[in-house]
Amino acid sequence: MKKLVENSGVEVAYKEIDIVTTGTFGAMCSSGAIINVGQADPPIKIQKAWINDVEVCHPGAAVDLYIGATIMSETRPFEYGGGHVIEDLISGKEVEVRATAHGTDCYPRTRLRTTITKDDLNQFYLLNFRNCYQRYVCATNSRDEIIYTYMGKLLPKFRNATFSGSGALNPLMNDPDYETIGIGTRIFLGGGQGYVIGEGTQHDPGNQGGTLMVRGDCKKMSSEFIRGAAFTKYGTTLCVGVGVPIPILNEGLAKKTAILDEEILTDIVDYGIPRRERPKLGKVSYKELKSGAITINDKKVRVSPLSSLKTARKIAEILKSWIENSSFFLSAPAESLPTDTVCKPMKQTEEIAFVNSVTHAAVTCTEDEDIKAVAERIINRSVNHVVVTDEQGKLRGIVTSWDITKAVAKGKRKLADIIIRKVVTTKPHESLEAASRKMAQHQISALPVIDQDRQVLGIITSEDIAKLLGR
Amino acid sequence: MKTVARILLRFSEKIVEQPITAQVILEHGVPISIVAAHIDSKGGEILAEVPSTHVKKIIDAFREKGVTVTVPKLIEVDSEKCFDCGACFSLCPVGAIAFKEDFSVVFDEKKCIGSPCGLCVDACPARAIKLVEQHSSGLIK
């Protein structure tokens, strides 16, 4: 479609092409499977259950269980989780089920342990409440340490970046107005056929943040397209393969499905700042992202996809062949998906305070100053801490009134001899709770506030925190 | 079957200016190819490849000349587990991981420096990347 529209125009493309197939394959955390394990004898009303040591929740009647993709094994956390249980079941492996219950007159059993395969399950349905994000951000890291996130491993000081999604191949990018995708749309799901059952959670179509809620029969899926995954120090998830056929019902859809990677822009976001609104560093297109390198702060850095673009293409190809050999039939949606919902932040009844809300200017000095001059400054400005900086205002150390007193008592004259150089610091976006924990841990009463280049932005003291709590 | 083994040579400040690698090559008549090197006046490191049949002899020769020799672990990719996401791609400092035109992830073991780096290992969501001892893969007996 994309080439035909470019070469021959929308009108020709509309006449020649009936259906465009799309695909995506990547980590989709809001996924899971609903299973019915059948009733035991004597019967049990499960209160808590585990499969391969992964706690599975019990949302309904006696023996219905939901395997959440991100729930981690109690014996192998961060390595094995619900996503892996679903993959193991789909690939025919035997899994161990354990359960406990209170015991009732009708369901007397209180303990259970058995092994099962997918053939032993009555129902085994993938039931994912947020899949197929229309596009996602590109993640990078400003901190001077490696961070491990749900967007993968991010090297210090913007040395790499990661992105997710298949760009112009993404199903929702090809039908952004939801003309053909709605409740009841038959789709490729995990190697089998499934359905769209609604908009996904956090569906935000106005900001190119559409999502899908989907359901499909796991017994007909393949572990090639449903894979458990483990993100170091973040946790486990499920990689899901989704493909949606878009029937070209009008010229408008021919034009929309001709969308190109270079037309899809997303934000480069600093995951080094652990806040809801992370700083944005600029925009980048999926074409650049797929090229393997992007520019951040005038530097070229490598960028990793976290979704398999190879598998996404394969899904679109398989869906095409299914349609061609009549093993897959398109369905008209029973109801359209909403196009006007937005994704709201949480209503919080407790405000969390951050370091930047109490940061004030620090009294500073340089290394070559006289102890007496610094002592006078402590008295004049009535502070206990003087931050030592270099000429550019970067942190070199700290001196307290106690250090000065000690120096005078011991007859020391040079400031350089008494500076504390290993300084515990904080950053503007650290929570006050974390900052005060640092002070308690190190038995200190102030923290210089610095940025990623160790530039001194100010100081916070235990008095500031005490005042805030006393309000 | 691979026929070359990798060894990591560490030169202290004292010996860094001596042509030790050249001497070992000449004395033993064994080819040694340098995969990666970082050397300055304070010392240095060379990652070298030697024929696996002569590894023991070469290691002893370097040690005799005061070089610290270790046998680094090598990266092994389980292609069954790998689902070609490419999470590892941006972490590799030597460009040993690349994409083919169809977005398959390809790993070039010749470029990879192994355990002195290992940045990609814990970035793999499929847990398909491992550092393995060269002894266990039969390269060094």
d(CA A345, CA A277): 10
Do residue B84 and residue A79 have CB atoms under 8 angstroms apart?
A: no
ipTM score for this prediction: 0.86
Residues of the domain holding B126:
73-133
The answer to whether position B139 is within a domain reads no
Q: In chain B, whose CA is at the least distance from the CA of A146?
A: B119
Domain boundary among B22, B49, B70: B70
Residue at which a domain ends, from B31, B51, B70: B70
Give the pLDDT of residue A114: 97
Kindly report the nearest CA distance between residue A146 and chain B, in angstroms.
10
Alpha carbon distances (Å) from A372 to A49, A104, A382, A419: 69, 79, 15, 14
C-alpha distance from B13 to closest chain A C-alpha (Å): 29
Q: Best interface-test mutation with B: which of A310, A314, A317 has the largest number of B CBs within 10 A?
A: A310
Determine whether the interchain pair A313/B102 forms a contact, defined as Cβ–Cβ distance below 8 Å: yes
- Which of A287, A308, A311, A315 is the best mutation test for B, with the most CBs of B within 10 A? A308
A304 interfaces chain B, CB cutoff of 8 Å: yes
Superfamily the domain A355-470 falls into: CBS-domain (3.10.580.10)
Contact B90 A160 (CB under 8 A): yes
Looking at residue B123, which CATH number applies to its domain?
3.30.70.20
Q: What is residue A430's three-state secondary structure?
A: coil
**B40 found inside a domain:** yes
Residue A292 in contact with partner chain B when CB distance is under 8 A = yes
Which of B103, B105, B119 to mutate against chain A (most A CBs within 10 Å)? B103
| Domain boundary assignment for chain A | 1-346, 355-470
Instruction: Answer whether A252's CB lies under 8 Å from A99's CB.
Output: no
Quick one: B36 and B94 in the same domain? no
- Write down which residue in B26, B50, B70 finishes a domain: B70
Q: Which residues of A are less than 8 Å from B84 in CB distance? A: 308-311
pLDDT at B140: 57
> Domain of B52: which CATH number?
3.30.70.260
pLDDT at B138: 57
**Pairwise CB contact (< 8 Å): B87 & A162:** yes
Distance CA A211, CA A196 (A): 10
A305 upstream amide cis, omega within 30 of 0: no
Residue B63, domain member (yes or no): yes
CB pairs under 8 A between A and B: 77
Closest B-chain CA to A233: B122
- Residues B82 and B66 both lie in one domain: no
User: Mind telling me how many Å the CA of A308 is from chain B's nearest CA?
Assistant: 4
Question: CA distances (Å), A241 to each of A133, A190, A191, A199, in order?
Answer: 12, 5, 7, 17
Per-residue pLDDT tens digits of chain B, which is 141 residues long: 568 899 999 999 999 888 999 999 999 999 999 988 888 888 899 999 999 888 999 999 999 999 999 999 999 999 999 999 999 999 999 999 999 999 999 999 889 999 889 999 999 999 999 999 887 655 554
Whether residues B77 and B128 share a domain: the answer is yes
- Same domain, yes or no, for B60 and B98? no
The pLDDT assigned to A471 comes to: 62
B126 → chain A, closest CA residue: A229
User: What residues of B are in contact with residue A307 (Cβ under 8 Å)?
Assistant: 85
Is B89 within the bounds of a domain?
Answer: yes
Coil, strand or helix at A359:
coil
| B48 in the same domain as B8 | yes
| Cross-chain Cβ contact A310/B103 below 8 Å | yes
Q: Which residues of A participate in catalysis according to the annotation?
A: 106
Q: Which of these, A168, A149, A146, A148, lies nearest to A157 by C-alpha position?
A: A146
Task: Considering only the beta carbons, identify the residue of A26, A153, A308 that sits closest to B123.
Answer: A153
Does some domain include residue B24? yes
The pLDDT, as a whole number, for residue B137 is: 56
User: Does the residue B31 lie in any domain?
Assistant: yes
My answer on whether B55 and B83 are in the same domain is no
Query: Which residues in chain A have their CB less than 8 angstroms from residue B119's CB?
Result: 153, 155
A313 with B87: Cβ contact below 8 A: no
B117-138, pLDDT tens digit by residue?
999 999 999 999 999 988 765 5
CA dihedral A324, A328, A332, A336 (to 10 degrees): -110
Would residue B78 count as lying in a domain?
yes
Name the domain count of chain B: 2
pLDDT means over runs of 10, chain A (471 residues) = 88 94 96 97 96 91 95 97 98 97 95 97 97 97 93 97 97 97 98 98 95 98 98 97 97 96 97 90 97 95 97 97 97 95 88 88 92 91 94 94 89 86 91 89 93 91 83 62
Q: Which neighbouring-strand residues pair with A51?
A: A54, A97
* Alpha-carbon distance A242 to nearest alpha carbon in chain B (angstroms): 15
